[in-house]
Structure 1
Amino acid sequence: MKRYGTVIRVKPEKLEEYKKLHADVWEDVKRKIKEVHIENYSIYYKEGYLFSYYEYSGDDYEGDMKKMAMDERTKEWWKLTDPCQQPVESASPGEWWSVMEEVFHLD
């Protein structure tokens, strides 16, 4: 299992919309997340930033992320959520949610 922390900005005028969407995530989307071996998934908000944490238990992360990105229902979901977000200033070209470096962990 590998832990991931990621960060992105949320557009201030879209925060409430984003929260409303995530109060009722589509079952198809949740099922796909689990199907691609993502577990213990949370998204937090603080002062214009969204922070996500999840654990990946598969053995082909890139393949699983491609599988999720090709899913039609997930693409529909992202059409609603993506306009609420914008990459952080330090994001690499083409990077949406920026992967953070883990500096400490305690089991």
Structure 2
Amino acid sequence: MSAPHSKRVCQIIKLKPEAEAEYRNIHASVWPGVLAALERAHIVDYSIHYYRPIQLLIATMKYTGTDYEADMKKVAEDPETQKWWAVTDGMQESFVEGAQGSGKEVPWWTELEEVFRFEGKP
């Protein structure tokens, strides 16, 4: 069940086909500092799915803080996360025109609009 003030986020990006094995491998052991930065930014229930026919990565997460933009800025300023992105960004192709990489002014991942949600009975 979602916290009353949580925000769900869904994002997509293209994975370069030749990077699939490396991307899977690095995500099998995400760096502890990267996970700590996400935790400090109130990100929970984060997962990334892969749809191979069109090389689509689909990330979903819940944000439980009160200032999403400020917390995402803190993640982008985290040195360990910046090193992580220096590795993973090269494996991806952004759908966002003008995107230069994660944590920059123009978003690297494309955030999707939620059009339906079913949470079941409380």
TM-score range, shorter chain: over 0.9
Q: Percent identity?
A: 41
Unaligned runs of 5+ in 1: none
Cα-to-partner distance string for 1:68-101 (whole Å, 9 max, x where unaligned): 111111111111111001112xx25333100011
Task: Specify the alignment match of 2:35 in structure 1.
Answer: 30
Task: Specify the alignment match of 2:115 in structure 1.
Answer: 103
Could you say what the CA RMSD is over the residues aligned between the two structures, in angstroms? 0.9
Give 1 or 2 for the bigger CA radius of gyration.
2
Q: Extract structure 1 runs of 4+ deviating beyond 6 A.
A: none
Equivalent-residue separation in structure 2 for 1:6 and 1:68 (angstroms): 16
SS at match of 1:104: coil
How high is the TM-score relative to the length of structure 2?
0.83
Of 9, 17, 29, the match for 2:22: 17
Cα-to-partner distance string for 1:22-59 (whole Å, 9 max, x where unaligned): 00001111111011000000000002000000000111
SS at match of 1:82: helix
Task: Specify the alignment match of 1:6 in structure 2.
Answer: 11
Unaligned runs of 5+ in 2: 1-5, 99-105
